[in-house]
Amino acid sequence: MTLNFAGGLTVDPGTPPHLRIPSCRAAPADRAPKVMERMNIVLLGMAGPAGWPEPDCRCASCSRLRTTGARYEPTRVIVDGVPLEECSRWEVPGGFDVRTPRGERLLMAGGPGQCPEPIPDTVYDFALLDLLGHPEHLGLLRHRGAVTAATEVMAVHVDHRISSPRELERRLSWWRHPRSGPYRTLLLGGARSGKSVEAELRLAADPSVTYVATGVLRDDDPEWTARIDAHRERRPAWWQTIETADVARTLRTASGAVLIDGIGTWLAATMDAWNAWDDAGAIQPRVDELIEAWRTTEAHVVAVSDEVGLSLVPTNSGGRAFRDALGRLNQQLAAESEETALVIAGRVTDLL
């Protein structure tokens, strides 16, 4: 399959340079390898039906993009020189299955918010999806085997559901090419900072994720139960969920992608189990075990932890012991992480 985007897979001239894939020029005919001609895809636009920015829209996303002078045209696809709507295609729930005489297959979302269902037992050469609205659908397609490492994936129907092209680029870097392990990411943030949502977004397009939930349900705390239920409802159904405080064991045995939410609740459960609220040093063997498992894991791990150092000083000794122990643990995990970031008000800042 040949992709034309700014020379490789082409788009409208207004596309910002940092969202363009470098061009791939063919070798001269006398030196070109003899291979079967592949499907040629041209994107003349990749935005939603009204384009991006949308006319007269005053949202921050559209206003920000408008000030740069850039504009994304509505999604329009050319396949082997023929507009998509004139190609040999089959309607599927949520989009279209496009086929060429050579047997190549393309799966495309029909519009914003739509999730195209693959034809059973079909592996697609190309997938054009609404990744902004449903990145987890790409994970499901990979989970089912309809999208593989050889499938070219691209976002279409892009619009003001995202803050900026740079944020789109950041997310596409995870979704189009999921990481393999070992790789460790620590996400820090305060209460309701968006750190859990950020962690889930990073792994949304992975084919298989082990979700390690360290929070324990408590019958006497309906608010806490509601928080846990909200997290459960947000997770894709095909993710494996493990509710455990033995995070070290999971890190030692897991492969693929692992999401740990979170380190703070793990520490609280461990201090409870060891009755260590008056002597945090009592749990040091468990902390050492966790750090060693984190350092030696073979998985791609994203862990969420609370940044408690910016909050009020606890009024009791147990609270202060927890704050200090979690601060030290966060430092140790960060030191053994390829990537650490701070999430505030849903915005992410990388920590170097």
Signed CA dihedral, 326, 332, 334, 337: sign only: negative
Tell me the CA distances in angstroms from 321 to 159, 191, 267, 315, one per residue in order.
46, 19, 11, 11
Catalytic residue among 18, 137, 160, 231: 231
Round to whole Å and give the CA distance between 9 and 6: 6
Beta-sheet strands, E only, within 140-243: 152-155, 183-189, 209-213, 240-243
DSSP string, 73-90: PBPEEEETTEEGGGSSEE
Round to whole Å and give the CA distance between 112 and 134: 9
* Contact yes or no for 72/14 (Cβ under 8 A): yes
Q: Report DSSP state, residue 119.
A: P
Round to whole Å and give the CA distance between 119 and 146: 8
φ/ψ of residue 249, rounded to 5 = -65, -45
Query: Collapsing DSSP states into helix, strand and coil, what is residue 140?
Result: helix
Tell me the CA distances in angstroms from 63 to 53, 131, 160, 184, 270, one per residue in order.
7, 22, 10, 36, 48
**CA-based nearest residue to 102, from 127, 77, 79:** 79
**CA-based nearest residue to 184, from 77, 293, 273, 104:** 293
Tell me the CA distances in angstroms from 98 to 3, 49, 104, 106, one per residue in order.
16, 20, 8, 5
* Contact yes or no for 112/49 (Cβ under 8 A): yes
Tell me the CA distances in angstroms from 237 to 68, 144, 312, one per residue in order.
40, 13, 38
Q: Is 231 a catalytic residue?
A: yes
* CA diameter of the chain: 79
Catalytic residues: 231
